[in-house]
């Protein structure tokens, strides 16, 4: 089983509660105007990993950075529900929690005729759902527009960690090649400005 990955950040503090690794998957069927991750939308081959390879990367991050969980973003994670379900099962057995973004609402996901969508939902601790709507842009922690909802699907994460900080936050990551990734919740105008300057 393979997963098409757009990007991985080994350690982040702005993509969910606590210290996390982030996996952005490649490919999204939605067409959200103003999407922050335009290059992650096409269903093209990006970086292909086996489930075992991703598992080993995350466990290495757990041991090195003491990550507490993993965040799936994209792209659309539920477009690769089968692979992410099996990965999530392995990660949950290691004591990690799962936060997942989706451009679909929870209600839409529950009506999908794909058994792996419901299986993946059963492994997710926090779901942030709904399409990004540019006209409803709002700087909420972990969310880009006010229509997006945070669903607690389990009790695996201490609620005080989830709601202790509702400020928007931003991170800069520079890889060994000098490529800069900006992540977090912030104005698109700021991101465009920073891209010009960096």
Residue with tokens 């757009």: 6
| Separation of CA 159 from chain center | 19
Specify the CATH number for the domain of residue 48.
3.20.20
pTM to 2 decimal places: 0.88
Q: What is the pLDDT of residue 95?
A: 97
Q: Is 127 helix (H, G, I), strand (E, B) or coil?
A: strand
Per the structure, how many domains does the chain have?
Answer: 1
Return per-residue pLDDT of the chain as tens, 198 residues: 999 999 999 999 999 999 999 999 999 999 888 787 889 999 999 999 999 999 999 999 999 999 999 999 999 999 999 999 999 999 999 999 999 999 999 999 999 999 999 999 999 999 999 999 989 887 777 888 889 999 999 999 887 767 655 555 767 667 777 776 767 665 555 555 555 655
Rounded Cα–Cα distance for residues 77 and 81 (Å): 6
Residue with tokens 């991050």: 61
Q: What is the pLDDT of residue 196?
A: 64
Q: What is the pLDDT of residue 158?
A: 81
Q: Is 53 helix (H, G, I), strand (E, B) or coil?
A: helix
Q: What is the pLDDT of residue 181?
A: 72
Rounded Cα–Cα distance for residues 183 and 47 (Å): 19
Q: What is the pLDDT of residue 177?
A: 72
Rounded Cα–Cα distance for residues 145 and 133 (Å): 6
Q: Within 154-187, where are the H helices? A: 159-162
H helix or E strand, kind and range, residue 52:
helix 51-65
Q: What is the pLDDT of residue 36?
A: 78
The range of the structural domain enclosing residue 97 comes to 2-197
H helix or E strand, kind and range, residue 138:
strand 137-140
For residues 3 and 83, is the Cβ–Cβ distance under 8 A?
Answer: yes
């Amino acid at each position: 089983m393979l997963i098409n990955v757009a990007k991985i950040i080994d350690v982040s503090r702005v993509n969910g509660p606590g210290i996390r690794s982030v996996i952005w998957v490649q490919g999204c069927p939605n067409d959200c105007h103003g999407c922050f991750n335009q290059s992650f939308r096409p269903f093209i081959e990006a970086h292909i990993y086996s489930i075992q390879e991703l598992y080993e990367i995350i466990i290495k991050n757990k041991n090195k950075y003491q990550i507490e969980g993993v965040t799936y973003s994209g792209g659309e994670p539920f477009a690769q529900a089968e692979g992410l379900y099996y990965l999530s099962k392995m990660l949950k057995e290691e004591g990690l929690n799962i936060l997942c973004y989706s451009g679909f609402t929870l209600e839409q996901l529950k009506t999908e005729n794909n058994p792996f969508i419901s299986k993946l939902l059963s492994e997710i601790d926090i779901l942030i759902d709904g399409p990004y709507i540019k006209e409803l842009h709002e700087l909420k922690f972990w969310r880009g527009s006010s229509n997006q909802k945070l669903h607690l699907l389990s009790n695996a994460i201490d609620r005080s960690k989830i709601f202790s900080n509702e400020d928007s936050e931003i991170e800069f990551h520079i890889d060994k090649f000098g490529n800069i990734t900006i992540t977090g919740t912030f104005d698109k105008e700021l991101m465009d400005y920073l891209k010009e300057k960096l």
